[in-house]
Each structure stands twice: as structure tokens, then as C-alpha cells.
A = this chain, B = another copy of it.
Amino acid sequence: MSSNKQASIGIFDSGIGGLTVAKAVIDALPNENIIYFGDTARVPYGIKSEETIREYALEITDFLLSKGVKMILIACNTVSASAKNDALEKAGNIPVLDVITSGTKTALAHKSNSHIGVIGTLATVNSKAYEKSIHAITPETKVTQQACPLLVPLAEEGWIDNDIATKTLGNYLSVFEHVDIDSLILGCTHYPLFKDVIPGVLNSGSVEIIDSAESIAETAKNTLKELGLLNENGGSFSCFVTDRPQRFQQLAERFLGRKVSDVVITHL
């Protein structure tokens, strides 16, 4: 186990989406050293089998452990849904946090939580991971899920608030029209990009929008504090990707709003 304060926080995702988590972690913990791993050669995970996703998650966990990380954040909802326990077991006593557990806790901390909405990729919705995670804590909470497969390609096309994005969101979110949800979990790391558009489409100002990137960053901060592992002298950010480091670098700089110079291609 690496219990060195200077050790890095490892964050991984199937691709670039987890950069919303990296951004939230940098904002919450600016003095931590961060290693981001994006599996850009094998993205997207959402259409792959559980078996394949577990295999990939274990490979990446191994890689991060070899870098001596003090904590691992699973920034990918698909991995959180399918392979969280595998990563936990592999990591031994290094804490492993995931976006689903963190997002669930934030949603349940909300003043009222009789009915929670969840949007995500097909894989996340089919796994019912949020539903299971919520019901493990409050079995009486109603959960309504909706898969939104077009939102990731829309976000990557940069179509966030044009009429096509709004109509697509309208189609997907119409399922929540006649159910009275208290909060809506954005169960995919790309979805925070639509955070400003969703309330207008939902046509309900009272629904709390839960951004699991912010949730996991908050949980990471609290966990490091409890373990006495907060770093006060770091602040580095380095990235490892399995394909197309230059494209990743461009997107990372756009996502993070800062220069990203340290992107290394690696093969697992």
C-alpha cells in the first residue's frame, strides 16, 4: 500500500468523459498529484459485455497500482456498474471510489428523496446499478431510469444547446413528465455538459440535478482527510492513454481550461 501523502490520486475512464471528474477533483483538491488514465483505444465501454469490462478494469487498476497511487477513482459509470468490486478487491487497502456510489449518496442527502430519476448509457441503465445502489440504502425510494444513448455523441459533436440537443433531451426526459422526481442523477460523465439545458427541458425548477463528478470529488476529499493523506505540496496532472494522445491532449485542455503537457501513450 502506498500511504505516502505525495502519492497520486489515480482516476480512470474509458476515454475522455472522466475529465469532468478530473476537473472536479482539481477544483476540490488543487494540491494533489493526479494521474488520469483514459482507455481511448477501447472506448466506448457501454456497448461491451460485463466480462470484457471487468477484464479492462482490472488491467487499468493494475496499471495505476504500479504507479503507486494512494487512491483510485472510477470515473466511468459503466465500470462502476460492472466492475467496481473487481477493482476494489484488486486494490487491497487502497481506497477505491466510484461515481455511482458517490452520486447515490449525494442524491439521498437531498432533503426529499422519495423518487429519484437516473439518466445514463444503455449499459448503465441495463445494469440497474443506480437503482441497486439507492435501494441498498433506502429500499422505499422510487427510481425511474432512462437510457440516453445519443447524448455522448451530441456532446462530442459540440451540440449542447441547439434545437437537436433540446429535442433529443425532450424525447428522453419525457419519461419524467408524469412522475414527480425530487432529483435527477446525471449517470454518465459526459452529461454534466448538458447541466444548464436540462432544467428548462424538464420544465421543473424543483428537481435537483446531481452531478456525480462533483459528488466523487467531495467524497475523495473527505476520505483523504479522514486517512490523513491530504497533500499540500503537489498539483501535478499527468495522463496516460491507449491511443491518440494528441487528440486527447486537445480535448483535455478544452475540458480543463488549462494547459496539459503530460500525455503519454501506453499499452496495457
Given the complex, which residues of B lie within 8 Å of A43, measured CB to CB?
47
Number of interface residues of A (CB under 8 A): 24
Complex formed: what's the CA distance from A159 to B164 in Å? Answer: 13
Question: What's the dominant secondary structure at chain A's contact region?
Answer: loop
User: Would you give 30 A-B contacts (Cβ < 8 Å), ordered by A?
Assistant: A40-B47, A41-B42, A41-B48, A41-B52, A42-B42, A43-B47, A44-B44, A47-B244, A48-B243, A48-B244, A49-B243, A49-B244, A52-B243, A149-B153, A149-B156, A149-B157, A150-B150, A150-B153, A150-B154, A150-B157, A150-B159, A150-B164, A152-B153, A153-B153, A163-B167, A164-B164, A164-B167, A164-B168, A164-B171, A167-B167
6 cross-chain pairs, A with B, having the tightest CB-CB distances, nearest first? A153-B153, A49-B244, A164-B167, A150-B153, A49-B243, A52-B243
Inter-chain pairs besides A42-B42, A150-B153, 12 sampled, C-beta below 8 Å: A41-B52, A48-B243, A49-B244, A149-B156, A149-B157, A150-B150, A150-B157, A150-B159, A153-B153, A164-B164, A164-B167, A164-B168
